[in-house]
A and B are shown apart, each in its own frame.
Chain A
Amino acid sequence: MKQIIRLTVNGDVYEVAAHPWRTLNDVLREDIHLTGTKKGCGDGDCGACTVLLDGRAVASCLTLAIEAEGFEIVTVEGLAASREKLHPIQQSFVDEGAIQCGYCTPGMELAALHLLSKNSDPTEEEIRAGLSGNLCRCTGYTKIVSAIKEAARRLRADRPA
């Protein structure tokens, strides 16, 4: 039987009627119509479905929607402050050429946000380790790594001393 599930996504509250076995990924994409979160495998292997739960990166395809109640959920749609002003991670992905087909991009950006929230000045090795749950088939990761390095620099510069 369906249950009412109350989710806080990007600061907005949504109430959806869904079966308790429905994944957060399906509810975000199909019930709330936030299709920026992708589904690349449904097994938790590729990271395209990454979202943040209270700041922590999780695979939304392995998370039941019902488990996400009570958490602050952030999806790619919640990253930019406005249409005009992208989040520094997004802007760096654009500027550095870190995006090709774009299917891994939302997950990569959220994995990067999780990483940079814990480590504001990661080494290249730390960035690569931080992306180890996210697959990309287009870029060879090179420009994604440099975009995250650049985003870290911009975020540090933005932060009041």
Chain B
Amino acid sequence: MSDNSVIGKRVPRSDAWAKATGSAQYADDLSLPGMLHGKLLRSSLPHARIREIDVSRARALPGVKAVITGADLPKVKYGNWRLVPATQDEYALAVGKVRFIGDEVAAVAAVDRETAEEALDLIRVEYEELPAAFDIDASMAQGAPVIHEETPGNISVTRNIAYGDVEAGLRQSDYVREDVFTMQAVSHAYLEPCSCLAQSDDQGRITLWTSTQTPYIVQCLLASVLGLRENEVRVIKPHVGGGFGGKMELRPWDVCAAFLARLTGKPVKFTMTRHEELATGRRRHPMRIWSRVGFRKDGTLVAKDFRVHLDGGGYNSMGPTAAFLVGNFGAMLYRYPAYRYEGFHVYTNNPPAGAMRGFGAPQALFAAESQMNMAALELGIDPIELRIANAMKTGDEIPDVATISSCAFRECLEEVARRSDWKRKRAELKDGKGVGIGCYSFITGGVFNWFDTQYPFSAAEVRAYSDGTVHLLTMASDIGQGSDTVLKQILAEELGISMKDIQITAADTAVTPKGDLGTWGSRVTLMAGNAVIEAARQIKEELFRMLSVRFNLNVIHDMECKDGMVRVKFRPDRGMKFGEAVAMAQKSRRGEPVVGRGTYTPRDMGLVTPTFSFGAQVAEVEVDRETGLTRVEKMFTVHDCGKVLNPMAVEGQVEGSIQMGLGYALCEELVMSSGRTLNASFLDYKTPGALDMPAGESVCIEVPEPRGPYGAKETGEGPVSPTAPAIADAVWHATGYRCKDLPITPEKVLRGIREIDRAARHAGDRDR
């Protein structure tokens, strides 16, 4: 692999020029002649029946072209879990009831934003307020208000995983501990607020430009909601300003823009405000995790019982997946002979939670890794040694779930210990300073077909032209992570051409091949990458046939595409330029263009994923005992993402994950009061800034993954999870205070320190 031309190289992003110059266009940058501006009226109450909506005054306002409510739209519910229609619980605009503050009630299209906003004020909604439930206990209590009539009891989804005899295991354990952990809601806080622009064309087809990470899902669900056939909707993904899981569903503004465009005959654009994003947008599930784990005296894991309640908010969104994955990640990293998981997705009258980077892993691993650290302490075993003793290895099986097809977890642990000078710092650091560890594993794409797609999970079409250029078409969706670049790298490597010779269209559902499920679950490099390789290899085969004929080659000759040539290996004189070979192939086909088509669908790979990433992280902190403020000084990360296809991109993912993990650990929280988000601005919802970031060292252990393109596996999501447990452990090491409820705010740390001091004084008093 050492003679790769572009694989493994620090290749700058192919869209960097456009983004550096401001010419890259995002959804809100687009406009069309005659375009109308849309605005949404949202519920001001957390739970209420809608008695009446009067839009007459809004409709009469000059400049208003249309006002719609749930009564105007087809009564079709939607949701990403198409496989289980009972989970599809959302209308684009409320029908009968609202279920959270911000639930969409009506939509306006007007000649400008100001008029649309003014019209919202003129809509009169008469509500009958209903009792509401704002946390999982209130929602599951006897007599709790029923949030969806179809779901009495408010538990919308239950997921289970079980293997081995957990009861016997816990009975036979020498050491058992039981803990409860809780995690807060946090925002994706992508910089680009959601935006879309819809146009109804002269064929009656809807074209929707939308800020999405899943164009195909939006296409299918939008069609179903509008009563159209799938291909009567065309979804185009412009540049997307970050998603992190928050842009992987059909959203009400997509539906309203499309419906209003048909109704008015004019293009309609909706763009969310930051306040709407933070106050009503999707968020990471708040959870409560109860975990009981048993060990033998020597530290060997015996069994684990893991029970999780997810606060799903008013609708399911991606909750059914979250409710499974959190249980999956509860048993990752280590070999558990027996494991039992029960997950409950609970409706509340909070804004709905959805998919967010790490999806279930940040919560599961905060609990599991914190518990591992506490257990290590009581077992008297170094936390890293305890982990090494139980670490998963290549070939391990999670019964009925997955096989670990490659794993360098042990190597990650050893390397992070060495780089962070773990042993010495753990023994010698002074009071107020500490080091702590957290580890992670993440899926590389999902196997379970919850969307019930009728197409391959990923597809690529490669068109080769005689002018030496190549066109790659795919629905794989770059939302900032760099998939366009890595797919071009893969294609350039396969065809031996320069990345400059490759044009990419991704994604436009009218022209890019079906299908691709989009960007989530860290799936794109592996799934779309494999599809691109398959397409490229078809083209190569065809070009090799031309070469063989042209030079009358012996059948034993091996050929290659390299340096812009198609040639005999070790005989570079017997070769043609790539474009010449394409021209010849095209001639041989009497003009038919040279096209390769590749697909990827994971089969026979269990229930979860083709392969998992692994990694370990050590945080070094200093805690101010006067203020309770935790300052993270350094992060050491060792990551097993298989073969690194582009080091700059992988580093970028790890560094970005640390920012998000740091916020989750210390300062990010959507503060709720009776269903209302109190801190819906970036002034009050703090994501870490440039001055808050710790120094860092991160390295990759490159063990090639047999199922990945060139041996690659995921890197975009795994590293977001270890940061919170590592910091919590370091804060414990620095102060003796162990935080089990995120985020680790100065208030909690101060209270914790004071309690420890008080306990120590009492102990001192007793001793005297």
A residues whose Cβ falls under 8 Å from a Cβ of B: 29-30, 33-43, 45-46, 48, 75-77, 79-80, 86, 90-91, 93-95, 97, 99-106, 109, 127-129, 131-132, 134-145
Say which residue of A86, A101, A128 sits within 8 Å of B21 (CB atoms): A86
Which residues in A have their C-beta under 8 angstroms from that of B693? 128, 140-142
From known contacts A40-B191, A100-B482, A137-B189, infer whether A90 and B21 are also in contact, taking CB-CB under 8 Å: yes
**Is B683 within 8 A of A36, CB to CB?**
no
List 6 tightest A-B contacts by C-beta distance, closest first: A36-B22, A101-B480, A102-B19, A103-B241, A140-B655, A76-B22
**Neighbouring A residues of B28 by C-beta, 8 Å:** 29, 35, 39
| Selected A-B contacts with CB under 8 Å, 30 pairs | A29-B28, A33-B31, A41-B682, A42-B274, A43-B682, A45-B683, A46-B274, A75-B22, A91-B20, A94-B12, A99-B16, A99-B20, A100-B13, A100-B242, A101-B242, A103-B192, A103-B241, A104-B191, A128-B693, A134-B690, A135-B689, A137-B244, A137-B659, A140-B657, A140-B658, A140-B693, A141-B655, A142-B651, A142-B696, A144-B690
Asked if A137 and B691 sit within 8 Å, CB to CB, the answer is no
Task: Give the contacting residue for B15; candidates A102, A132, A139; CB below 8 A.
Answer: A102
Please judge, given known A-B contacts A38-B192, A137-B189, whether A102 and B683 are in contact too, CB under 8 Å.
no
Q: Determine the distance from Cα of A134 to Cα of B659 in the docked complex, in whole angstroms.
A: 14
CB-based contact A77/B21 at 8 Å: yes
- The residue that B682 contacts in the complex, of A35, A39, A45, with Cβ under 8 A, is A45
Contacts of B194 in A (CB 8 A): none
* Cβ contact within 8 Å between B242 and A138: yes
- Taking a contact as CB atoms closer than 8 A, the residue among B19, B190, B240, B273 that contacts A105 in the complex is B19
Query: 1/0 per position for B667-684, CB-CB distance to A under 8 A?
Result: 000000000000001110
Q: A36-B21, A38-B192, A86-B17 are in contact. List 18 more A-B contacts (CB 8 A).
A: A37-B22, A41-B682, A43-B681, A43-B682, A77-B22, A79-B21, A86-B21, A90-B21, A93-B16, A95-B12, A97-B10, A100-B656, A101-B191, A101-B479, A102-B480, A132-B690, A137-B244, A140-B657
CB distance from B331 to the nearest CB of A (A): 29
**In the complex, which of the residues A75, A97, A104 has the most CB atoms of chain B within 10 Å of its own CB atom?**
A97
Let me know if A132 and B689 touch, CB within 8 A: yes
CA distance A111 to B691 in the complex (A): 15
A40-B652 contact, Cβ under 8 Å, with A132-B689, A144-B690: no
Which of A35, A46, A136, A140 has the most chain B CB atoms closer than 10 A to its own CB?
A140
> In chain B between 625 and 678, which residues have their CB closer than 8 angstroms to a CB of chain A?
648-649, 651-652, 655-660
What is the total number of residues of chain B having a CB less than 8 Å from a CB of chain A?
54
Q: Complex formed: what's the CA distance from A80 to B17 in Å?
A: 11
User: Is the CB–CB distance between A138 and B682 below 8 Å?
Assistant: no
**With a CB–CB cut-off of 8 A, which chain A residues contact B19?**
99, 102, 105
- Cβ contact of B191, chosen from A34, A132, A137, cutoff 8 A: A137
CB neighbours (8 Å) of A127 from chain B are 690
Contacts of A145 in B (CB 8 A): 690
How far does the alpha carbon of A127 sit from the alpha carbon of B693 in the complex, in Å? 13
Query: Which residues of A are found within 8 Å of B660, using beta-carbon distances?
Result: 137
B1-31 vs A, Cβ < 8 Å mask (1 yes, 0 no): 0000000001011011111111111101101
Once bound together, how far apart are the Cα atoms of A30 and B479, in whole Å? Answer: 24
Q: Any chain A CB within 8 A of the CB of B687?
A: yes
Residue contact A35 to B29, C-beta cutoff 8 Å? yes
- Listed residue (B19, B192, B244, B683) with the most chain A CB atoms within 10 angstroms of its CB: B19
Residue numbers in B under 8 Å from A143 (CB-CB)? 648, 651-652, 655
Q: Which of B20, B23, B656 contacts A139 (CB 8 A)?
A: B656
Q: Is the beta-carbon distance between A102 and B690 smaller than 8 angstroms? A: no
Give the chain A neighbours of B682 by CB distance below 8 A.
Answer: 40-41, 43, 45-46, 135
If A94-B17, A143-B655 touch, whether A138 touches B480 (CB-CB below 8 Å) is: yes
